[in-house]
């Protein structure tokens, strides 16, 4: 600030862009062998810039989303809530091994010989200690919200109801193909078992023929049950006229996507003939291949009618 005959002039040296976000740390590029990553760690180590860690994590861990005040992550097969961002916090701590790698480079006898190296070592040691403190972690999480924010995710979850979600992929009822689950399928619920196109357990066929001995009725019931695979179809709540292991099998086959709506007095039950209790509910739970076989049967029936 200078004064000349009552006129005050303010010299603001920090308005120039070259002074903004200036970084005084320049680690050896041979350590990380990646110029972009090296630049990130230069900024992180210089002044403990926690927001830079937030940005780095968003690039390294793209399977997280912050939506409607909640954290979600994609497992590779389905989306899950990350309560209190616990998994993301673990991912953030993965920067520590990289920091220790840089630290090891500069604490070797050959490299710890100048002022820059001493500054880098001091900053890294302080930063590692800082990262294990809740306040620093909370600040990184708060900064990460900006990079991971997608308010539309919650609306999209489980919206693609023509997909049958298995634990190893999805079956598309529009294309009649099975494929690996993608993020954009927005799946959170599954059948709780793997899809197996070749599953053919004779016990399942024997069970269906026993429960539904009449061929015409069998085809009608299986057609009705196959409708519940596609949740885009406006199907009523699922109800059977009698207590039957077939209801148990249907619940096991649909898993998380089993319709939870309660039947009403206007809901028409699926009529089944009374049979002797040759099969118990436990029989349906014993063998996973029975569920896989019944699912394959329902898919084939669905193909024939829809």
Domain boundaries, the chain: 22-155, 158-306
User: Is it the case that residue 77 has pLDDT exceeding 80?
Assistant: yes
Q: Of all residues in the chain, what percent are helix, strand and coil, respectively (each to 5)?
A: 50, 10, 40
User: Residue 7: what pLDDT?
Assistant: 43
Residues 6+ apart with CB under 8 A from 252: 284, 285, 291
Alpha-carbon span 197 to 296, nearest angstrom: 7
Alpha-carbon span 131 to 96, nearest angstrom: 8
Mean pLDDT score, 109-133: 85
Least confident residue range of 46-50, 67-71, 155-159, 287-291: 46-50
* CB-neighbour burial class of residue 175 (10 A; exposed 0-12, middle 13-18, buried 19+): exposed
Instruction: Identify which of 216, 219, 193, 224 has the alpha carbon closest to the alpha carbon of residue 288.
Output: 193
Identify which of 65-69, 122-126, 275-279 has the greatest average pLDDT: 65-69
Give the closest residue to 27 by CA, choosing from 156, 109, 114: 114
Judged against a pLDDT cut of 70, whether residue 244 lies above it is answered with: yes
Give φ, ψ of 101 to 5 degrees. Answer: -65, -45
pLDDT at 11: 38
Question: pLDDT: is 96 or 19 the higher one?
Answer: 96
Q: Tell me what pLDDT residue 22 has.
A: 47
Q: What is the mean pLDDT of the chain?
A: 87
Q: Is the pLDDT of residue 195 over 50?
A: yes
Model confidence at 4: pLDDT above 50: no
Alpha-carbon dihedral sign for residues 19, 148, 61, 51: positive
254-264 mean pLDDT: 82
**pLDDT range class, residue 113, cuts 50, 70, 90:** low
What is the DSSP track for 105-167? HHHSTTTTTSHHHHHHHHHHHHHHHHHTSHHHHHHHHHHHHHHHB-TTHHHHTT--TTEEEET
What is the b/e burial string over 208-223, where b = at least 16 CB atoms within 10 angstroms of the residue's CB? beebbeeeeeeeebbe
- The predicted pLDDT at position 98 comes to 98
How wide is the angle at C-alpha 201 spanned by C-alphas 197 and 202, nearest 5°? 135
Model confidence pLDDT, tens digit, residues 165-185: 999 999 999 999 999 999 999
Q: Which residue has 């899950």 as its token pair? A: 80
How far is it, in rounded angstroms, from Cα 292 to Cα 198?
9
Longest dimension (CA), the chain: 110
- Which range among 97-106, 225-234, 277-286 has the greatest average pLDDT? 97-106
Which band of pLDDT confidence, cut at 50, 70 and 90, is reported for residue 297?
very high
Mean pLDDT (whole number) for 284-291: 85
**Residue in the block written with tokens 């029989």:** 283
- Region 85-89: mean pLDDT is 98
The whole-angstrom separation of Cα 246 and Cα 273 is: 12
**What is the mean pLDDT of the segment spanning 70-80?**
97
So what's the pLDDT on residue 282? 73
């Amino acid at each position: 600030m200078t004064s000349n005959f009552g006129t005050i002039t303010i010299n603001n040296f920090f308005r120039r862009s070259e002074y903004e976000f200036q970084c005084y740390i320049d680690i050896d590029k041979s350590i990380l062998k990646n110029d972009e990553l090296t630049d990130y760690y230069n900024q992180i180590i210089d002044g403990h810039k926690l927001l830079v860690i937030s940005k780095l994590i968003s690039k390294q861990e793209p399977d997280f989303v912050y939506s409607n005040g909640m954290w979600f992550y994609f497992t590779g097969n389905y989306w899950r809530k990350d309560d209190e961002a616990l998994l993301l916090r673990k991912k953030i701590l993965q920067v520590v091994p990289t920091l220790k790698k840089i630290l090891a480079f500069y604490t070797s006898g050959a490299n710890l010989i100048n002022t820059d190296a001493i500054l880098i070592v001091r900053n890294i040691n302080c930063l590692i200690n800082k990262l294990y403190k809740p306040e620093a972690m909370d600040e990184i999480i708060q900064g990460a919200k900006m990079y991971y924010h997608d308010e539309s995710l919650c609306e999209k979850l489980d919206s693609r109801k023509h997909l049958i979600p298995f634990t190893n992929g999805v079956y598309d009822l529009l294309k009649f193909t099975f494929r690996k689950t993608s993020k954009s399928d927005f799946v959170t619920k599954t059948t709780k078992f793997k899809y197996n196109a070749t599953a053919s357990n004779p016990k399942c066929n024997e069970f269906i023929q026993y429960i539904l001995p009449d061929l015409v009725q069998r085809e009608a019931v299986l057609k009705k049950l196959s409708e519940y695979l596609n949740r885009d179809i406006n199907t009523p709540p699922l109800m059977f006229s009698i207590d039957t292991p077939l209801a148990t099998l249907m619940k096991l086959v649909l898993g998380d996507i089993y319709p939870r709506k309660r039947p009403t007095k206007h809901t028409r039950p699926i009529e089944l003939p009374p049979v002797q209790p040759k099969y118990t509910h436990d029989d349906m739970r014993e063998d996973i291949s029975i569920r896989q076989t019944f699912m394959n049967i329902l898919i084939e029936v669905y193909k024939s009618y829809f």
